[in-house]
Amino acid sequence: MSPIHDQTYRHYEGRRAPLGRSWLVIVRAGVRGLFSRKAFLGLLLGAWVPFIARTIQIYAVTMMPQAGAVVPIDAKMFQTFVETQGLFVFFITIYVGAGLIANDRRANALQVYLSKPLLRMEYIGGKLGILLTFLLAVTLLPAVLLVLMQIVISGSFTWISSHAFVVPAVILSSLLRVLIAAFTMLALSSLSKSARYVAILYTGVIFFSEAVYGVMRLVTGSTRVAWVSVTGNLDVVTDAIFFSEPRYETPVIVSLIVLAGLLVVSISILERRVRGVEVVA
Amino acid sequence: MSDAVFAVEHLSKWYGQVIGLNDVSVSVPPGITGLLGPNGAGKSTFMKLVTGQLKPSKGQVRVLGEPIWANPKLFFRIGFCPEQDAFYERMTGMEWVTALVRLNGLDEKAAKTAAEQALTAVDLMEAAGKRIPRACVSG
């Protein structure tokens, strides 16, 4: 081997992806890394059990219409399905999201990332992409497939033509849950260097807001205060999306404003925290 | 100077009310240049400004003739080695270097080849498959 100073520096002359594609590298690396963890694969597979159960329900009702009196195939079933998947959204958000930025901060890697031809938005987009990939795989994907299963098993478009709103409803409600969870978690992950602490923080945000709502409901005797709870707001908007009877007295517009506010706060935190150099003024 | 690698003019940086760098103008030609100064002189601040890690409070920084701030395209042409260690303990040297090269826009195969060349150049190919031990890098 010859000494380093004897080696002439040569510029790379091969092909190079243009600026703006690096976020895909981050997504691919993140997704690949998580697929190699058996515990996580188990969690992903578990998230599809409700889909299998609902498919069996659709099959049973199609074969024996009288079963529809007990377990009807209606918009409410699809709404319940989306809400059930919320449990898996919670666990996957914690498992995947807690360390997304926190681990980079712990390894001092943010400065390295941002001294590459990579926009800050690309870095955040890449991290968001990892979380969204898995969250959509347990919400939007099974929900849309369930609608397709209804069409395939019944062998006609009769049901779907009379419940046409179910398709946009499952898409909208799934996206809403996924986006709120992903942005909130990413913002929290940018606040700390410890993934464990971020996981506790996220759990705290969800359960503490629910507990505050429980106390306020007892004090006021009204469900109008559900806007203080993250899950309460999601339920209020989901009820509106599915045209189902509201479970809370909170106006939909109030819940929408709270959820939009949560998104704005999360984006603002990310804008402030995702920097190569931390400036303490 | 048109052939300068980088040039700064009246560059200043404040951290709140604390001044980090005060009205610096300098032009650095190609070749090896050292930056010396006592503690608190602003060497780190200066390096962070000329590598686009910090936004100047006043003045301008041009690297290879272009402003560096908010111009990530320039990072296709320059390299930056931070003063702190930065790596993931779970990754091997080869994985980490390859990942960094991938962020420069090279595809997986080209990135692996480039990483191998770089590690060979610094005689680290034998250790390339091992996880990066923090103690060795810091020591």
| pLDDT score of B139 | 43
| pLDDT score of B3 | 81
| pLDDT score of B135 | 41
B87/A117 Cβ within 8 A: no
The encoded tokens of residue A139 equal 């919400």
User: Model confidence over A165-205: pLDDT tens digits?
Assistant: 999 999 999 999 999 999 999 999 999 999 999 999 999 99
Report the interhelical angle of A98-106 vs A166-189 (nearest 10°).
20
Q: How many CA atoms lie within 13 A of A180 on its CB side?
A: 27
Residue type, position A191, single letter: L
The verdict on B80 touching A (C-beta cutoff 8 Å) is: yes
The encoded tokens of residue B122 equal 């610094």
| pLDDT score of A107 | 86
| pLDDT score of A6 | 54
Per DSSP, B50 falls in state H
Element (H, E) at B58: strand B58-63
Q: Report, as ranges of residue numbers, the positions in chain A whose pLDDT lies below 50.
A: none
Residue B59 backbone dihedrals phi, psi, to 5 degrees? 90, 180
Q: For chain B of 139 residues, list the mean pLDDT of each consecutive stretch of 10.
A: 85 92 94 91 92 92 93 87 78 89 89 91 87 58
| pLDDT score of B81 | 81
| pLDDT score of A126 | 95
* Contact criterion met (CB below 8 Å) for A54 and A80: no
Partner-chain residue, chosen from A111, A119, A277, that has the shortest CB–CB distance to B72: A119
CATH number 3.40.50.300 given to B6-72: yes
Chain A partners of B89 at a C-beta cutoff of 8 Å?
Answer: 107
Partner-chain residue, chosen from A1, A16, A276, that has the shortest CB–CB distance to B53: A276
B15/A280 Cβ within 8 A: yes
Neighbours of A274 (CB within 10 A): 21
- Residue span(s) of chain B under CATH 3.40.50.300 come to 6-72
> Does residue A168 come out as left (phi exceeding 0), alpha (psi in the -120 to 50 range) or beta?
alpha
- pTM comes to 0.87
What is the complex's ipTM, to 2 decimals? 0.81
Least Cα separation, residue A195 to chain B (angstroms): 14
